[in-house]
Chains A and B, each alone.
Chain A
Amino acid sequence: MLENTNVKTLDKVVVRFSGDSGDGMQLAGNIFTNVSAGLGNQVSTFPDYPAEIRAPQGSLGGVSGFQVSVGTGVHTPGDGCDVLIAMNAAALKTNHRFLKPGGVAIIDIDSFKEADLKKAAYTTSDPVAELGIKAQVVEVPVTSMTKAALADSGLDNKSMLKCRNIFALGLVCWLFDRPLEAALRHLRNKFAKKPAIYEANAKVLQAGYDYGHNIHASVSTYRIESPDPKPGVYTDINGNTATAWGLIMASEKCGRPLFLGSYPITPATDILHELAKRKDLGVKACQMEDEIAGVCSAIGASFAGDLAVTSTSGPGLALKSEGIGLAVMAELPLVVIDVQRGGPSTGLPTKTEQTDLMQALYGRNGESPLAVVAPASPTDCFTMAFEACRIAIEHSTPVILLSDAFIGNGASAWRIPTADEFPTIKTPDVPADMLANGSWRPYMRTENLGRYWPMSGTEGAQHRLGGLEKDQVSGAISTDGVNHEKMVELRREKIARIANDIPAVEVMGDADSDTLLIGWGGTYGHLRTAAEELCRMGKPVAFAHFRYINPLPANTGEVLARYKKVIVAELNTGMFADYLQCRFPETRILRINKVQGQPFAVSEVMEQTVKLMED
């Protein structure tokens, strides 16, 4: 069951610039404040100077800070910050305590050399571990990039170093989508009498902005919280980490090792990062030479008997299509994670969309059905990653998990489940008597219509798989047309029957109203909030959210038939609406769509729902 959650677009973000008192943190902070105010944001600032005007450079006493809160409903500069800029080791030490869980620290890694650490009285060579920082730390070579940007400027070293603050400003402007023109205007005023310095700062500002663009730097400005948390032990988690952990839970529950074959791609790479760390839990995470090798190595691992996963985003899913088709044909368990981003092609790598639905459902040659599931929230990524594994193993099929940039990067408080909250995953082992008497054949069917899944190295279970069509009885290569049609039907029916093994779709909101609002995947938080607001406003709507996409829950048709108006809201031009429409032609599906690389705003969903209700 889906937890009640509220999605909060952080109506304000808090940025804290910190560095040596000579680093110009106040200037960077002030310009960011003014640029934000110019965009119509409310602002509140808190300059945090050191007592001494010029304490020794790099020392703890010499750290200067500037905190600014920008957004709406801003009454204070904020207690904690969402983004901390630390220009040196001392600044990180004195300011990390302001960083909120789930925030991001951006540090100038060039100022974390041995001597810098010594000046700031660190006792180890790993400042992040020493300070116990759990938040994301982005190491940026601010000093060297600033110097590189100004290599042809003719400025001396000292003057170049004075521009470091503006590099950081450029990066923050990228993170929060602030136009550089406004920042340039402020710089021009500031350096009106020093055109060479203005030129240098302008160059560095652009360089910082471009750097953010190039490394796909992003910071989530959303939180999804439960208003009525259950008792238990909690931690802060984002969707990509939750996905990685859900896979590990599935590995524990099926008793097979977890294998990941992957290739770096925004915004899915954090799954690879997390699983690479989890060698401490026995995970084999392999960074392969390309997306195709990612999926193919996973298919190999699955054939060997591991729980096998590949993770990617839309362009990578396109490259993996042929491999996924092989897994469909060989009927091997495989989990494919697609953290969706804006497309087509390279599209909007750091932005969110739900535009890979059709690719996931149909993006392969031939009749190639597979299961598709979509987590609803950052914490639901854990559950649905587990579910993807369970379905893949128990039903001998590839499963595509459609996450997205919004929930992948979005953070939430998460109650850490105990192992008994998740079922044992039953691996379809070849029955021992069949192995003993030699009667097992690789295309024999389990009760779920799946294939048995022997571990490599099992004596007597040697068998040959392949992408060619197989005889439905013997498993030998077959080009017989009638057999092929039977196999096509069998693979279709195998996926269709998963509907008996997944929960029914629930109706939330006002189930007795005339209008049903439908969502799927990562839009859950916004849509549920919108539905509840509408009910409160006296515009009652029912709300159903789909996390099982193929097959759909068994009660889907019955739920749709209960309502006079059915509205599907999604971040594409109507893919899920089309999908439902062709399955349930008797229901006329109305649509709310947005394709701006941004999540829904609750208000726009409410507005458009009311409009459709009143039409």
Chain B
Amino acid sequence: MEENKTFTPANFKSDQAVRWCPGCGDHAILNTLHKAMAELGIAPHMTAVISGIGCSSRLPYYMNTYGFHTIHGRAAAVATGYKVANPEMTVWQISGDGDGLAIGGNHFIHAVRRNVDINIVLFNNKIYGLTKGQYSPTSDRGFVSKSSPYGTVEDPFIPAELVFGARGNFFARSIDVELATSQAVLAAAARHKGTSVVEILQNCVIFNNGIHNAITDREVRAERTILLEHGKKMLFGKEKNRGLVRDGFLLKAVTVGEDGYTLDDVLVHDAHTPSNFLHQQLAMMDGLGELPLALGVIRDVAAPTYDEGVSQQVEEVRAKKGFSTLRDMILAGETWTVE
């Protein structure tokens, strides 16, 4: 990835009018993505943004990059083919909880498993917005919507758990209104080689307004979220005096200076450790009970990527066998001549 600092967010904006509802969380995510791209310094013509179907999937139209608004659920497969065809491109996939985890669930887990070098941005608003308000695969059990008037009778996916189940090597989380965190994790996702999944808790102002409020409200956010940074103590709270410590195999939130806990007891975040045991526990904290919801880069581990693997294998086989044309290859096999 060739980086320079000559781009501004405006270089990544297209001339299309943005058509999301006023107050939609997507606006903030779009702006932070423009900023993250400028920060990365990769030229617009070396960037591709590929999406499926849903509100969030309109995003490519608002980018001055290569863009493809494909079909429902299939963006990961389209992005995989695109990246393999041209590994030089920086490829983003924009998806929602319905697009990415319901109809596109299979492509999602296989993209993560293959570790193709794409950056998947998953807008999670726990609702189908474009079809006007049905429950999604991330809606909580009992959630009442137009298609579940008596409440759902099924459990949701937790995106991070799915990523770890598919052996993912990069997972980060942010909230639409946390602009600095969003920009930082999006840039980190692009710098990571391999499939990066960034879950952004997004507010659908029309069909699911306030779904994340219990965590994201200004009054509670500092106490109910923790920003994880590699190499730093896992501290949170308004006073930054709350910390995460080990409790057997599990995690516990404590107040530094109380119950005999000191700063030394607080864990240091290691996003690069290959084991995903602690990463999974961190990612599964929901912010609703004792433990805060984790934001930031939770896991970022280097591993071989699919697109590089394909290219390398082609190069190796070509170097070994060395056919330059189809005819050479065929003539090297069994043939006979008719005079």
Chain A residues proximal to chain B, CB less than 8 Å? 101, 134, 229-236, 245, 248-249, 252, 257, 259, 261, 278-284, 286, 288-290, 292-293, 296-306, 308, 322-323, 325-326, 330, 415-419, 455-468, 476-477
Contact = CB atoms under 8 A, between A and B. Distances in A.
Contacts of B67: 462-466
B64 interface: yes
4 A-B pairs with least C-beta separation: A466-B69, A297-B81, A300-B81, A296-B77
Contact of A300 (B78, B321, B339): B78
Contacts, number: 197
A459 B11 CA distance: 13
B106 A290 contact: yes
B317 A280 contact: yes
Nearest to B320: A280
9 contacts: A233-B331, A282-B314, A288-B110, A297-B81, A299-B70, A304-B89, A330-B68, A415-B338, A419-B325
Interface string B79-120: 111111110110000000000000000110010000000000
Interface of B: 14, 16, 43-46, 48, 50, 53, 60-61, 63-71, 74, 77-86, 88-89, 106-107, 110, 310-311, 313-314, 317-318, 320-323, 325-327, 329-331, 333-339
Contacts of B330: 235, 245, 416
Given A235-B335, A236-B334, A330-B68, 17 more contacts: A233-B335, A234-B335, A235-B336, A278-B329, A284-B85, A289-B110, A293-B110, A297-B84, A300-B50, A303-B68, A415-B338, A456-B48, A458-B45, A462-B45, A464-B67, A465-B68, A466-B68
Contacts of B61: 464, 466, 477
Contact of B334 (A235, A249, A323): A235
A305 B84 CA distance: 11
A289 to B, nearest CB: 4
For the complex, would chain A's binding face be called helix, strand, loop or mixed by DSSP majority? mixed
B326 A467 contact: no
Contact of A286 (B84, B325, B339): B84
Given A231-B338, A235-B333, A296 B70 contact: yes
- The residue in B14, B45, B63, B339 that gathers the most chain A C-beta atoms within 10 A of its C-beta is B45
B119 to A, nearest CB: 15
Contacts of B63: 464
A299 B337 CA distance: 40
Contact of A466 (B70, B84, B85, B331): B70
A161 to B, nearest CB: 35
A280 B318 contact: yes
A257 B314 CA distance: 12
A257 B335 contact: no
A284 B77 contact: no
B80 A280 contact: no
B309 to A, nearest CB: 11
Contacts of B64: 462
Contacts of A418: 327
Nearest to A234: B336
B85 A305 contact: yes
Contact of B89 (A308, A323, A456, A467): A456
B69 A259 contact: no
A297 B60 CA distance: 18
A323 B14 CA distance: 26
Nearest to A249: B326
- The residue in B79, B81, B325, B336 that gathers the most chain A C-beta atoms within 10 A of its C-beta is B81
Nearest to B110: A289
Contacts of B325: 252, 281, 419
A115 B69 CA distance: 58
- The residue in B63, B106, B335 that gathers the most chain A C-beta atoms within 10 A of its C-beta is B335
A465 B89 CA distance: 17
B337 A234 contact: yes
A513 to B, nearest CB: 33
Contacts of A297: 77-78, 80-81, 84
Contacts of A245: 326, 330
A278 B329 CA distance: 9
Nearest to B63: A464
Given A308-B85, A419-B327, A464-B68, A233 B314 contact: no
Contact of A467 (B45, B66, B70, B339): B70
Nearest to B46: A457
B211 to A, nearest CB: 27
Contacts of A293: 74, 77, 80, 106-107, 110
B329 A459 contact: no
A22 B189 CA distance: 64
A288 B77 contact: yes
Contact of A296 (B81, B89, B322, B323): B81
Contacts of B337: 231-234
Contacts of B89: 304, 456-457
Contact of B331 (A248, A290, A298, A416): A416
A517 B46 CA distance: 55
A184 to B, nearest CB: 40
Contacts of B14: 464
- The residue in B44, B68, B88 that gathers the most chain A C-beta atoms within 10 A of its C-beta is B68
B338 A457 contact: no
B81 A304 contact: yes
A467 B71 contact: yes
A282 B315 CA distance: 8
A458 B43 CA distance: 11
B201 to A, nearest CB: 26
A134 B333 contact: yes
B323 A281 contact: yes
A5 B141 CA distance: 66
B46 A279 contact: no
B323 to A, nearest CB: 5
B69 to A, nearest CB: 3
Nearest to A101: B334
Given A419-B327, A464-B61, A301 B85 contact: yes
A364 to B, nearest CB: 12
Nearest to A464: B67
A234 B50 CA distance: 46
B221 to A, nearest CB: 35
Contact of B82 (A300, A460, A463, A476): A300
A296 B43 CA distance: 26
